[in-house]
Amino acid sequence: MNIMICDDQKDELENMKQIVLEYAAVHSELFLEVKCFSNPFDMLEEIGKSGAPDIALLDICMPGVLGTEIAREIKSKSEDSTDIIFLTTSSDFAVEAFALHANDYLKKPYTKERLLDTLDRVVEKRKNRLYVPISCGREVHLIDLYQVFYMEARNHTVEIHLKSGNCLKTHSTLTELKKLFLNVSGFVTVGASYIVNLRCVKSFLQTTMIMENGDAVPVPRRLRGELKKQYFDFYTKEATGK
């Protein structure tokens, strides 16, 4: 698990680094790798070379750029799979930070215990995610299945629509991709062309599923009754835990 830390104040950066290294020593089973940057543009350059981190700890008020802008750039490269933790002296950016789905917003000065608690929570959440490699031409993307809105077979490729707004295209068949979802609840096959994440269905109309991003997935007449049952059964289970 890779962690990147960025703060232009070197004493703050060193403090964060020490806390994270202590956390890494206690949780050796995670094989944490920690990289620190006092310049956010150096951090982005490293991400361009080695890829986005699993977790990013970011100051917000830095010379020349805001940490929220850096977070957007990271998320665009990581397909929204990087967990962001903001640490800042200002409360002014809290709304913007959580609009970016930040995992936490720690106001400086924060306690060591507060940061450790946040790391515990983020790591535990990551353990419950399901990451799979998807081959897209010469590139391989590691995606979180729960970040998938739906997959659509089209013109000898499969388009994977993600919550980040990005769309990946792979020459893997829908049949091959279905194997990734065999033991994952909440994903259903819709006809011969779609796999849908029920968590991202905003409404179920007579002939279509409307996704949270506004896209419409057509539902074949023969499947409408069964898919509605799966839809309601899934949300009943989610609500009751049974």
147 pLDDT more than 70: yes
- Residue 85 shares a structural domain with residue 69: yes
Measure CA 114 to chain center: 23
Do 12 and 20 contact (CB within 8 A), yes or no? Answer: no
Do 32 and 126 contact (CB within 8 A), yes or no? Answer: no
Q: Which amino acid is at 67?
A: G
pLDDT at 238: 65
Greater model confidence, 80 or 112: 112
Report the CATH number that the domain containing residue 122 is assigned in CATH.
Answer: 3.40.50.2300
In Å, how far are 49, 54, 74, 90, 91 from 173, measured between CA atoms? 30, 28, 29, 48, 47
- Residue 8 shares a structural domain with residue 69: yes
The neighbour count for residue 156, using CB atoms within 10 Å, is 7
pLDDT tens digits, 102-135: 889 999 999 999 999 999 999 988 877 777 888 8
- Residue 67 shares a structural domain with residue 98: yes
Confidence band for 145, pLDDT divided at 50, 70 and 90: confident
- Residue 148 shares a structural domain with residue 216: yes
Residue 234, domain extent: 131-240
pLDDT tens digits, 207-233: 999 998 899 999 999 999 999 999 888
Rounded Cα gap, residues 81 and 13, in angstroms:
23
